[in-house]
Structure 1
Amino acid sequence: MKIKLFLLFSFGLSLNLFGQNNDTQKKFEQELHSYFRSGDLKKQEIVNSETKDKIFKLFLDNSFVGYAILASAKGRMDTFDFVIIYNSQKEIKLVKVLVYRSQHGQEITNKNWLKQFYKNTVQFVYGKDIQAISGATLSAKSITEKINTLNFVVSEISTF
């Protein structure tokens, strides 16, 4: 009985710490449908060996429109989940934090701060290209580094 409880607890903890749960997945789906307001949106998952994040090719009415990534990054104490939407030219069009679990560093969820990533830049430098945030230094650096990694991964994907 103790082993079953331990395994159940460990599995639940691993979902919260190392991956997205169903609530995060629902928020991801809602964000995609909110961004692409009309048409038949379809996702095709891309096998990704570089990160544990989920990368999708997006098709709207059977036409390729870009990529979406459901990603996680580590803040000071907890992980947080976010979405990135790229257009077909692999430019970032949206970054949104879906779930921020920590009580500190929530400033990175600000839409205006996240708009700094909407550039045609492969590598962002925190404190130069991306404004530093007092009180959210670790989370801000973490999301910047993760976006840099994902920009590289997306740049390496062949369009078809």
Structure 2
Amino acid sequence: MLTKNIEKIVLISILALIITSFSTRSKIDVLIKKEIKIVFKIDSFSKQSITISSELNETLPLKITATNLFKIKKDEALLGYYYLGKAFGKAAYFDFIVIFNENLIISKVKILVYRESHGGEVGSKRWLKQFIGKTISINLKYQKDISAISGATISAKSMTNEINKLLKTINILKNNKQL
């Protein structure tokens, strides 16, 4: 009898985890679509996953998968790109998006899901605006190029580091004619 109850609890827990992960993913997809429509001032678009060779991927600061780097197109015209990433706060990861224009200049950075009770200031529009206009040839320095945030030091440093890795990755992909 006890074994049956444990099996039921395990099954219910697994189902709840699956349902929660799908709803979080769909919320993220909705937020991404909204941000792309705002940045490019469009009603509809298509996205195309960017695939690269495993040999090149091994050399990149950030690994590219079928679910994290995309071309953004309107009809057949290239509008830009977006990257869906994760950065680490004090105790949990948070999800963010970086939208690039067709010239690989950052147009928008947004925190999509922040999972901690402290450090959420890293998601403020004012702080994130510092990344807009940055190019793939730059290396950002926290507290010099990017302002610190009191109460969100770990998240802000982590976000700056992830953006730097992304810029280096995009630069390598461009130089290898993958973008």
Instruction: Output one character per residue of 1:119-152: Cα deviation in whole Å (capped at 9) or x when no partner.
Output: 2353211111111111101100111111111112
For the residue of structure 1 that corresponds to 2:118, the secondary structure is: coil
Q: Which of 115, 119, 133 is the aligned partner of 1:105?
A: 119
Shift of residue 51, structure 1, vs aligned partner: 4.9
Instruction: Output one character per residue of 1:78-114: Cα deviation in whole Å (capped at 9) or x when no partner.
Output: 2211111111111111101111121111111111111
- Equivalent residue number for residue 4 of structure 1: 11
- Equivalent residue number for residue 28 of structure 1: 32
Matches within 5 A, 1:115-154: 115-118=129-132, 119-120=134-135, 121-154=137-170
Give ranges in structure 1 of 5+ residues lacking alignment: none
Which shows bigger deviation, 64-73 or 139-148?
64-73
Which structure's residues are more often helix, by fraction? 2
Q: Which of 74, 90, 99 is the aligned partner of 2:88?
A: 74
Q: Is the 8 A contact 1:39 1:61 kept in 2?
A: no
Root-mean-square deviation (CA, aligned residues, Å) is 2.5
Partner Cα separation in structure 2 for residue 8 and residue 42 of structure 1: 31
Give the TM-score of the pair, scaled to structure 2.
0.75
Q: Is the 8 A contact 2:39 2:107 kept in 1?
A: no
For the residue of structure 1 that corresponds to 2:69, the secondary structure is: strand
Matched residue count: 156
- Equivalent residue number for residue 56 of structure 1: 70
Which structure's residues are more often strand, by fraction? 1
For the residue of structure 2 that corresponds to 1:73, the secondary structure is: strand
For the residue of structure 1 that corresponds to 2:129, the secondary structure is: helix
Give the TM-score of the pair, scaled to structure 1.
0.83
Q: Is the 8 A contact 1:105 1:139 kept in 2?
A: yes
Shift of residue 25, structure 1, vs aligned partner: 1.8
Q: Is the 8 A contact 1:104 1:135 kept in 2?
A: yes
For the residue of structure 1 that corresponds to 2:71, the secondary structure is: strand
